[in-house]
Amino acid sequence: MSRLLVATRNSGKVRELREMLASSRIQLETFIDHPDVADVEETASSFEGNAALKARHAALATGLWALADDSGLEVDALDGAPGVHSARYAGTHGDDAANNAKLIDSLVGVRNRSARFVCVTSLANPAGELMATARGVIEGEIIDAACGVNGFGYDPHFRPVGEDRTMAELDPLEKAKISHRGQAIRAILPEIQRRVGGAQ
Ligand code: IMP
């Protein structure tokens, strides 16, 4: 059995990946199994940069293959903000309510509501070298009134193109099928299977 460290403490992210790798000989671990690994600062100015930072750091700290992702929301009328700062747009990391309030405030009187969620996944080998990268994008628009209770982050204010529901009104399986994260994971999956699953 090969081992792959998924550089996250978010059990939802791992559950999705576990289902996709169910038939492979890869054992998934997370930071919960490696509590000594310190967090790395996300100092890069792109999703690619931060995903690579996280994957390389996790691999070097554990000597395992490591998979990391970085994601966020890009709003055209805000020149791509909040972008890589999505988690801490309003100041405090992960304060979804404050982030959403700031987003809607920033768009008062703005007609162009086009936006996208972006997710980049990166795979690093046990020596900390970047071996593969994949990007997923879902286009949509920002709506003022929050709708739905599923998901997290900006989901209640993001309506994908061609949908009449927000991301927060989709159930988790529906979301994974179309989301930026689902796309990025599916795109890097063959690399994981080939490099990690095949690395006996
Ligand atoms: P991270 O990639 O886990 O650091 O997420 C960055 C931030 O982007 C999150 O805290 C959310 O604010 C936002 N974000 C990323 N993906 C999603 C999503 O699927 N729905 C809503 N917000 C998201």
- CA-based nearest residue to 192, from 118, 121, 129: 121
Per-residue pLDDT at 184? 96
DSSP state of 35: T
- Ligand 1, closest atom to CA 179? 19
Split into its structural domains, the chain has a count of 1
Per-residue pLDDT at 200? 42
Nearest-CA residue for ligand 1 atom 11 is 153
> Does residue 200 lie within any of the structural domains?
no
Question: Does residue 74's CB lie within 6 angstroms of at least one atom of ligand 1?
Answer: no
Per-residue pLDDT at 199? 47
Task: Kindly give the distance from the C-alpha atom of residue 87 to the centroid of ligand 1, in angstroms, as a whole number.
Answer: 6
- Site to probe by mutation for ligand 1, drawn from 48, 73, 116, 185 as the one with most ligand atoms within 8 Å of Cβ, is 73
Question: Does residue 160's CB lie within 6 angstroms of at least one atom of ligand 1?
Answer: no
> Does residue 159 lie within any of the structural domains?
yes
Question: Does residue 140's CB lie within 6 angstroms of at least one atom of ligand 1?
Answer: no
Per-residue pLDDT at 172? 87
> Does residue 123 lie within any of the structural domains?
yes
Question: Residue 118 forms beta bridges with which residues?
Answer: 72, 137
Task: Kindly give the distance from the C-alpha atom of residue 40 to the centroid of ligand 1, in angstroms, as a whole number.
Answer: 17
Question: Does residue 155's CB lie within 6 angstroms of at least one atom of ligand 1?
Answer: yes
Task: Kindly give the distance from the C-alpha atom of residue 152 to the centroid of ligand 1, in angstroms, as a whole number.
Answer: 7
Question: Does residue 153's CB lie within 6 angstroms of at least one atom of ligand 1?
Answer: yes
The CATH number for 183's domain is 3.90.950.10
> Does residue 187 lie within any of the structural domains?
yes
Q: What is the pLDDT along the chain (200 residues), one digit of tens a residue?
A: 899 999 988 777 787 788 778 778 899 999 999 999 998 999 999 999 999 999 999 999 999 999 999 999 999 999 999 999 999 999 998 899 999 999 999 999 999 999 999 999 999 999 999 999 999 999 999 999 999 999 899 999 999 999 999 999 999 889 989 999 999 999 999 999 999 987 44
Question: Does residue 86's CB lie within 6 angstroms of at least one atom of ligand 1?
Answer: yes
- CA-based nearest residue to 154, from 51, 52, 83: 83
Per-residue pLDDT at 169? 98
> Does residue 20 lie within any of the structural domains?
yes
Give Cβ neighbours of residue 151 (< 8 Å, ≥ 6 apart). Answer: 167, 168, 170, 172, 175
- Give the domain range for residue 182: 2-195
Task: Kindly give the distance from the C-alpha atom of residue 61 to the centroid of ligand 1, in angstroms, as a whole number.
Answer: 24
Task: Kindly give the distance from the C-alpha atom of residue 153 to the centroid of ligand 1, in angstroms, as a whole number.
Answer: 6
- Asked if 16 and 67 count as a contact pair (C-beta separation under 8 A), the reply is no
Give Cβ neighbours of residue 5 (< 8 Å, ≥ 6 apart). Answer: 29, 30, 31, 33, 34, 58, 59, 62, 64, 65, 66, 67
> Does residue 126 lie within any of the structural domains?
yes
> Does residue 124 lie within any of the structural domains?
yes
> Does residue 140 lie within any of the structural domains?
yes
Instruction: Point out the residues that are catalytic.
Output: 70
